[in-house]
Structure 1
Amino acid sequence: MSNAPVFQIDPRAFWHDPYPSLKQMRATAPIAYVPQLDAVLITRRDDIFENEKKIEVFSSDQPNGLMTVLMGQNMMRKDGAPHMAERKAIFPTVSPRTVKDVWKAAFQADTTRILDELAPQGRADMVADIAKRISGEALKQVTGLTNITWQEMDRVSQGMIDGCANYAGDPAIEARCHDCTASIDRAIDGMIPVLSAQPNHSLLSVQMQAGLSDAQIRANIKLAISGGQNEPRDVIAGLVWALLTHPAQLQLIRDGQATWLQAFEEYVRWNAPIGMSPRRVAQRHELHGITLEPDDRVFFMFGSGNRDEQVFARPDEFDITQDVGPSIAFGAGPHFCAGAWAARSLIADVALPMIFDRLPGLRLDGEAPFGGWAFRGPLSMPVAWSAD
């Protein structure tokens, strides 16, 4: 057991807004054991950036971790050569060239169809009706699971996310997670013969072509869905909210003084959709006078690191003009998010500019509550616009 100082949190308050507690931790206990999470939290940006690379100490291999138990051992839960082999195998799906030459056009076609259907209505929920749908349709294409609906894609993603964050051991959450992984397995079963006959750039297809085992293929598909649905969904909706509540920032983009990509990079720094990544301590290690023991659970708190006062000029402000170079929103080590290029394209190249272009006079039409600390985003967001 680590000798890290103990820092108590209110789990409910932490879920609604973790940033005040994380700010206090950075100032008073930047490496601290939080009993409510049964983990040591590392909260400063430079500590995360330096130590995430030390896979011999902070291992992603977590045989008893929730993700491994519930979803199988995907490449995110492997280190070294096994991790790199699977990462290389999936690269044809997520490479910058594939995103540019294949996925961007698919994203544009789906988003155009979605917004054309919704535009005459004049109002919708940005989360439930727009962001979930855009993200789900994109993920169907990228994973190769075109035999399910976008609604089911969102359901199974959320079920797995909830399962992986179920540190309290709620049996109902675990049961829902198992139901969701079973649904994905059925979808994979349905698409294997289709993609065997007609291979493409999808994640399922390229893994099959690379000769990965059935267990590897299924675990990596579930990994892609667990992160590839909720992160774009939460960033699309959250960034719309951020720009509508910071109109001067939106005007910078409209005036050509800033870009949608700058807005995207600043938002994921400021309100991280994935707030942490867990690790297992593989060997005894001392960090800033604190001893971590083998099998201690450590959380690298990306969301906290991205608001580190020692690194960012205005850490708590949404300002698309500030330097986000030190951001660790997509990770900092060998597990840097493989879907980063696809996320940037979907959100910055396609979804955000099209939403503001095709929904004229877009405005908030009610409250937009946020929630989550491991995964964070708006829960609902009523919006309205000038219908044709």
Structure 2
Amino acid sequence: MSQTLTADARPAPVFEIDPEAFWHDPYPALRRLRDEAPVAFVPQLGAVLMTRRDDIFVNEKKTDIFSSDQPDGLMTQLMGQNMMRKDGAAHKAERTAIFPTVSPRTVRDVWKAQFERATEAVLDRVRPLGRANMVTDIAMPISGEALKCITGLTQIGWAEMDRVSQGMMDGIANYAGDPEVEARCHDCTAAIDRYIDERIPALQAQPDASLLSVQMQAGLSDAQIRANVKLAISGGQNEPRDVIGGAVWALLTHPDQLRRVRTGEVAWQQVFDEYTRWISPIGMSPRRVARAHVVEGIALQPGDRLFFMFGSANRDEHVFHNPECFDLSRDCGPAIAFGAGPHFCAGAWGARCLVAEVALPMIFDRLPGLRLDGAVPFGGWAFRGPLRMPVAWDV
């Protein structure tokens, strides 16, 4: 847990990782970190990693120490300073401005029906085929169509929505500094600016509940509006996509758990909660250390970069029994898949609705005999999900 600065505090121990192995499966290294060095500097990532759930739960709320304001961070540099990279009053003001788009009431009364229509269209298109890639042919378009509605960028296709989202995701996780990845990210952010420009006149004439529109109605600056739309796209596409695909895989590889859902013993909401605990689609959240502090006896200095490792926290053996098992009877209350502080994911209600109330039940209902049809590799540690998922069903 956190302490005040003391003379006997020590520097963060150095913990080496194999970046490629960490990308393919971060969980063995994260377990070692929790056991051996819960606050440690990882040179391959250029950051201190905080890996235990209770440490993260307490310290994420201390925005005066662990600041989201990161002027030199990749997200700010590549996408603009969105509300996720602000603290205090500035963050609260923008979060309040966008609330009419993401509130539980808006999700229920506006977005859910649109999610249902879009998901039905995707499944009607693939059902006669008898087989598909769950990630690219089903989860990706479902997520993309939902995000088009929420952002207000309804004029683009779901494939383009996925392209620009993935380009930004790759860019803000580009800690190795690959120039090609950075160039693709710039191309994607420029495309989003063009799409925003195209939609502004229509939304000025006829406002709606979309993110672009409610920000315009709230009087946010042009820079604020664009940065927050990019933020929504960067997380609002790949995370629901990865959870839809990953949760389908989890159920198909755990037929006993799927049987419990089909019989009504367990709700689809529990599938969502347990999957996002087990394989957190958002594996970490970065912070800048704003002032000297000590956590677990480790001295942190102003300017240090620190990652709250949500993917590790949600498998913390000190909190969860058999955390590496997918278990729908588990109490997921302590999980922090969407964060634990003032930056708790604003899109959580929309994601829960899309995945648990719409996509998962419709997929299993409309694709009878759904089954895996090949290997399912996963990838990522900052953002994690299935890379491909061949499936088949009865026609």
Q: TM-score range by the shorter chain?
A: over 0.9
Listed one character per residue, the Cα deviations across residues 34-78 of structure 1 (whole Å, up to 9, x for unaligned) are: 000000000000000000000000000000000000000000000
- SS of 2:16's partner is coil
Aligned position for 1:350 = 358
Aligned position for 2:297 = 289
Return the offset for 1:3: 1.2
Q: Does residue 1:234 correspond to 2:231, yes or no?
A: no
| Among 35, 39, 51, the residue aligned to 1:31 | 39
Aligned position for 2:221 = 213
Listed one character per residue, the Cα deviations across residues 163-211 of structure 1 (whole Å, up to 9, x for unaligned) are: 0000000000000000000010000000000111111000000000000
- The CA distance in 1 between the partners of 2:361 and 2:125, in whole Å, is 17
Aligned position for 1:115 = 123
- The CA distance in 1 between the partners of 2:303 and 2:105, in whole Å, is 40
- The CA distance in 2 between the partners of 1:122 and 1:140, in whole Å, is 27
Aligned position for 2:231 = 223
Aligned position for 2:141 = 133
Return the offset for 1:249: 0.4
Return the offset for 1:117: 1.1
Q: Which residue identity is paired with 1:183?
A: A
Aligned position for 2:29 = 21
Return the offset for 1:277: 0.1
Aligned position for 2:53 = 45
Q: Does residue 1:54 correspond to 2:62, yes or no?
A: yes
Return the offset for 1:17: 0.3
| Among 376, 384, 391, the residue aligned to 1:383 | 391
- The CA distance in 2 between the partners of 1:244 and 1:286, in whole Å, is 44
- The CA distance in 2 between the partners of 1:7 and 1:175, in whole Å, is 31
- The CA distance in 1 between the partners of 2:92 and 2:188, in whole Å, is 27
Aligned position for 2:4 = none
Aligned position for 1:80 = 88
Give every structure 1 segment of 4 or more consecutive aligned residues whose post-TM-superposition deviation is greater than 6 Å: none
Aligned position for 2:99 = 91
- The CA distance in 1 between the partners of 2:36 and 2:270, in whole Å, is 32
Listed one character per residue, the Cα deviations across residues 259-287 of structure 1 (whole Å, up to 9, x for unaligned) are: 10000000000000000000000001111
- The CA distance in 1 between the partners of 2:302 and 2:203, in whole Å, is 43
- The CA distance in 1 between the partners of 2:316 and 2:356, in whole Å, is 25
Aligned position for 1:333 = 341
Aligned position for 1:144 = 152
TM-score (norm 1): 0.99
| Among 362, 381, 394, the residue aligned to 1:373 | 381
Q: Which residue identity is paired with 2:309?
A: M
Return the offset for 1:288: 1.8
Aligned position for 2:313 = 305
| Among 278, 282, 295, the residue aligned to 1:270 | 278
Structure 1 unpaired stretches of 5+ = none
- The number of equivalent residue pairs is 386
Q: Which residue identity is paired with 2:60?
A: E
Return the offset for 1:147: 1.0
- SS of 2:41's partner is strand
- The CA distance in 2 between the partners of 1:92 and 1:208, in whole Å, is 12
- SS of 2:132's partner is strand
Structure 2 unpaired stretches of 5+ = 1-9
Q: Does residue 1:4 correspond to 2:12, yes or no?
A: yes
- SS of 1:280's partner is strand
RMSD, aligned CA: 0.6
- SS of 1:286's partner is strand
